[in-house]
């Protein structure tokens, strides 16, 4: 009996040590930890479609210093297919390239599009919103392309850099970040010049929506998420300029996010707050008549409060 107790105790100890070791490994491989520890030098990821002269031009655009920078990677179609979980297509054209540099823990995540005329579909704040969803809290990301491209493949370049440097980037995180980038870029492209629409407002609305679903988590129903999205878009004056299909795209993304592990990242909400403050500071006049203290998480409480009033009313009628 004593021997069995010793075995049982040993097994529990081993299991405990395994859990601790696994937790430490998971933590050390987190996206931000890898950036902090491994990006002693900035990391460059170039699209494979660039010619030799375009590679040189792109590196110069991204601030490459041949005297000290040594980390240059190329995102091939096979790497892109593996990262994005799609079939390898050798005809795929990859031109947009990125530079990732670590920043101090008190600095804000920044994205600079060095060639804004050549990145036609994605704005810097769309990249920033997607980067937060990916788990990046503080880093400087630069994007460039020598010819006009959409810029969507640059996000795959970020994934590739992180994974090659040892980060554990879950498929869930990648899919959500890509879903968000696609949603924002498509909505922005469709609504350019439309009265009442503003890309800065949409990006700030997204920070509020993501923060709200992170606070409530998987307890949210699809209707709850829809209420959060619609109330937030309404607060920023965007609801009337967007189609129901566009709103549903955001609802679907936000609902997927609410059921993910992405929102469990300890720095997720604080990074969203920093992003919101940064966008608002950059475009102050745009938000002069907007309630920036709007709490999207209370949207579901209001809805449930009204429902409870209806239930109570009928109970009173029937004396129950």
The tokens of 26 are what? 């998971």
Q: What is the dihedral of CA 204, 208, 214, 218, to 10 degrees?
A: -110
Distance CA 70, CA 152 (A): 25
Strands 72-75 and 43-47: parallel
- Per cent of the chain over pLDDT 90 is 69
| pLDDT, tens only, 35-74 | 999 998 999 999 999 999 999 999 999 999 999 998 999 9
- Per cent of the chain over pLDDT 70 is 85
Residues in the chain: 320
Residue 222 has pLDDT above 50, yes or no: yes
Distance CA 165, CA 149 (A): 27
Q: What is the pLDDT of residue 296?
A: 85
Secondary structure letter of residue 119 according to DSSP: B
Distance CA 113, CA 110 (A): 10
Spatial neighbors of 279 by CB under 8 A, at least 6 apart, are 125, 200, 203, 204, 207
Segment (H or E) for 129: helix 124-134
29 phi, psi to nearest 5 deg: -95, 5
Q: What is the pLDDT of residue 12?
A: 38
Across the chain, mean pLDDT equals: 86
Distance CA 23, CA 16 (A): 11
Of 169, 136, 162, 175, nearest in space to 257 by CA: 175
Of 62, 61, 88, nearest in space to 77 by CA: 88
The tokens of 280 are what? 């608002």
The tokens of 205 are what? 């609305």
Residue 19 has pLDDT above 60, yes or no: no
E strand map for the chain = 43-47, 72-75, 97-102, 110-113, 139-144
Residue 135 has pLDDT above 50, yes or no: yes
| pLDDT, tens only, 174-199 | 999 999 999 999 999 999 999 999 99
Q: Is 64 helix (H, G, I), strand (E, B) or coil?
A: coil
Query: Are the C-beta atoms of residues 174 and 84 closer than 8 Å to each other?
Result: yes
Q: What is the pLDDT of residue 265?
A: 85
């Amino acid at each position: 009996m004593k021997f069995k107790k010793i075995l049982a105790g040993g097994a529990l100890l081993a299991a405990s040590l395994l859990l601790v070791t696994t937790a430490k490994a998971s933590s050390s491989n987190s996206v931000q930890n890898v950036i902090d520890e491994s990006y002693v030098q900035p990391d460059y990821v170039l699209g494979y479609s660039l010619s030799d002269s375009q590679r040189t031009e792109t590196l110069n655009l991204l601030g490459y210093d041949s005297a000290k920078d040594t980390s240059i990677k190329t995102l091939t179609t096979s790497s892109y297919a593996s990262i994005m979980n799609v079939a390898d297509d050798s005809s795929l054209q990859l031109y947009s390239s990125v530079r990732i540099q670590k920043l101090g823990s008190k600095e804000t995540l920044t994205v600079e599009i060095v060639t804004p005329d050549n990145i036609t579909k994605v704005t810097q704040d769309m990249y920033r919103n997607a980067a937060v969803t990916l788990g990046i809290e503080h880093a400087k990301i630069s994007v460039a392309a020598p010819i006009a491209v959409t810029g969507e493949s640059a996000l795959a370049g970020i994934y590739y850099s992180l994974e090659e440097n040892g980060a554990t980037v879950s498929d869930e995180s990648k899919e959500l970040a890509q879903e968000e980038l696609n949603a924002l870029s498509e909505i922005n492209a469709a609504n350019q010049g439309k009265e009442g629409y503003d890309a800065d407002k949409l990006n700030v609305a997204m920070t509020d929506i993501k923060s709200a679903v992170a606070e409530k988590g998987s307890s949210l129903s699809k209707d709850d998420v829809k209420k959060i999205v619609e109330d937030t878009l309404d607060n920023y004056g965007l609801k009337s300029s967007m189609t129901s299909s566009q709103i549903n795209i955001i609802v679907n993304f936000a609902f997927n996010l609410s059921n993910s592990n992405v929102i469990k990242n300890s720095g997720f909400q604080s990074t969203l707050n920093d992003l919101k403050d940064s966008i608002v500071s950059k475009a102050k006049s745009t938000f002069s008549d907007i309630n920036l203290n709007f709490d999207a998480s209370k949207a579901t409480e209001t809805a449930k409060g009204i429902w409870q009033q209806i239930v109570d009313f009928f109970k009173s009628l029937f004396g129950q």
